[in-house]
Structures are given as structure tokens and as C-alpha cells.
Structure 1
Amino acid sequence: MLKKIATGFLAVAATSAVALSLPSVASASTVGAAGYDNDYSDYWSPVYSKNGLAKSQGWIGVSWDEDGESNEVTVRGRLYDLDNRDEDEGGKCAFVKFEASDFDHDWSPVYSKKYCGFPGYKKFSFSENDVFSVRVKVCQIGQHSNYPTKCGRWEYLYTAESE
């Protein structure tokens, strides 16, 4: 009897492991973090500054109009300050910036956020219309500065052609 129970647990564990290892497939219409239908939605992995002392992660959702000619992109996330040094020791704040391209592939800044507060995070959210692509970059920035430093590379969160 004990052997049958153990075998049953092993079968459940193996099935769960296989299911968890399979990549998830996004459907044509998924319910996003906000709880409403999107034509595309996904969670984006942590993006770090060059030195790893700032990070951001979150969710992106895209809703297209009925004709498929216009869309609204919503981005939500958290910005983490991972620099435990104070300003006198050279510590800096976390900074995230987003750019979006229109359907003519022209990039422009659409949102940025600064957060000083190791070891915490700051939530953010924004929406943009008629977007072909969205990308994000995480940096550090001085508490009283307007010039980011130690920026990581651009990470693409969404491109219309990948749908």
C-alpha cells in the first residue's frame, strides 16, 4: 500500500515537472495583469543596470482596435534600488526609461522613473497609443542629477511584428 502511494506521488511530481518545463504559449486574447482582455500580454523579466545595482521588471499588454490599425500599450512594473551605499559613499538611485516606436519606426521617449530607496521598490504604470515597438533600459542616477549613468542595454519588450 505504501509503495502504491509513493508511486502515485512520484507520478504527480513527474507530470508537474514536465508541465512546468514546457514553454507557455500566449493565446490570441489573454487576460492581463489589469484583468481585462488584451490581444497580447506578457510579463517581462528583470532588466538590470550595467553594474547590477538597479533593476526593473513588470508586465506589458497590448489591445488593438477592431480594424487592427491602432493599439494601446500598457506597461506596469516595479523599479528596484539595489545600491545599499548612501550618497556620501557614491550610492545612486535606480532609473528606468522606456522608448516606443510608431508605425514609421521612429523612436521617442515615452516614460521614465527615478527611485531612491534601498532596499525597496517603486511601482509605475503608463499607457501609449499607436505603438509598433517598446524597449526599456535601466540605469543608475544621482539623487540630485538629471543624467543617468551605468545604463544597461536596451531590452525589447514588444514588437507588433512578433504577434
Structure 2
Amino acid sequence: MFKKIAIALLAAAATGTLALTAPAAAASPGPYDQSDQWGPVHARHHLAKAKGWVGVEWDEHQESNTVHVKGRLYDLDPRGYGQGGRCAYVKFQAAGFDHEWDEVYSRKHCGYPGSKKFGFSVDDVSALRVKVCQVHPYKHWVSKCGHWDHLYAAESE
């Protein structure tokens, strides 16, 4: 009887210790100094959208960083191309530490009702923003863009 009580107490103690350490392990950011989900971000009229994740790594001296972005782009336009249907298009701009905006990544996806994964990394970023638009399937002009959505700013850390 005493042996069964001792085993039960040890099991309870081990479970309590595990329960106390599990939230701390789950909350740790891993290799990223900051990470967060973003989106959904929509084109005008909600016929395209993108959503995903952004993570930021700083070097040991806090002088340089790398921003990693993963996401999915959705074509939500059910119209055929003959009826004016368009493809989904996402573009990202990053500002360096000089605060000048440059386009760093873009992706097009045609195929209602589907989606396409994407991912990229960019170095030395003080801010990052995203915009979702639609684009003609056979030409390169972009239209029906939503607003810029800011995903990251170094000043907010």
C-alpha cells in the first residue's frame, strides 16, 4: 500500500513539474527575437488576400537584422479571364536603416479558388509593409490594390 502511495505522489510531482515547465517552453520565441502572424490583407473588393508569419532575428550586437516572411496568397476572383477575372498579387516593401522604401518581393497566383505558398528573407530592415492587388493574367499591370499594411517596425521593439 505504501509503495502505491509513493508511486502516485512521484507521478503527481513529475506531472506538476512538467506542467510548470511546459508553458515556458511554449512561450520561448526560438531563434527569433520577435515573431508574429499577419493578415489577412485584402485587395480592393476582397478578390485576393494574403496572410502569414513574420520573424525577426538580430545579430549579437543589435546592429543588423534579418526579417523572414512566410505566407500564402489566395486568388478569390471567381470570374473567368474573359469576364474580367484577375489573378492575386502580393508585394512587399522594406525600408532599410536609411528609411528608404524598396520593393523586396512580389508573387502572383492565378487559380481560383486556390492558393500558393511563398517565403523570403531580407537583411537590415527597419520596417516592412505588404500590399495585395490583382493583376491581369497575361499582362503585367497591377490594379485594384488594397492599402499598405505595416508588418514590422524596428522602432516598436
Q: State how 1:52-131 maps to structure 2 within 5 Å.
A: 52-131=46-125
In the TM superposition, residue 82 of structure 1 has moved relative to its aligned partner by 0.1
Residue 30 of structure 1: SS of its match in structure 2? coil
Q: Which amino acid aligns with 1:100?
A: A
From the CA coordinates, give the structure whose radius of gyration is larger: 2
Q: Please state how far the C-alpha of 1:30 moved relative to its aligned partner.
A: 1.1
Amino acid corresponding to residue 44 of structure 1 in structure 2: W
Q: Tell me the amino acid that sits aligned with residue 92 of structure 2.
A: F
Q: CA deviation at 1:147?
A: 1.2
- CA displacement 1:50-80 (0-9 Å, x = unmatched): 1110000000000000000000000000000
The structure 2 residue matched to 1:146, chosen from 132, 136, 140, is 140
Deviation of the 1:162 alpha carbon: 0.7
Which consecutive residues of structure 2, in runs of 5 or more, have no partner in the other structure? 1-26
Return the letter of the residue paired with 2:74: Y
Give ranges in structure 1 of 5+ residues lacking alignment: 1-26, 32-36
Q: Percent same amino acid at aligned positions?
A: 56
State the 1:140 CA deviation: 0.3
Distance across 2 between alignment mates of 1:98 and 1:147: 16
Equivalenced residues, count: 131
TM-score between both structures, scaled by the size of structure 1: 0.79
> How far apart in 2 are the matches of 1:115 and 1:45?
17
TM-superposed deviation, 1:90:
0.6
TM-score by length of 2: 0.82
Of residues 135, 153, 161, the one that matches 2:155 is 161
1:68 partner SS: coil
Map of 2:43 onto structure 1: 49
Q: Structure 2 matches for 1:4-43, cutoff 5 A?
A: 30-31=29-30, 37-43=31-37
CA-based RMSD: 1.0
Return the offset for 1:104.
0.9
User: What is the one-letter code of the residue matched to 1:80?
Assistant: Y
Q: Report the residue type matching 1:62 in the other structure.
A: V
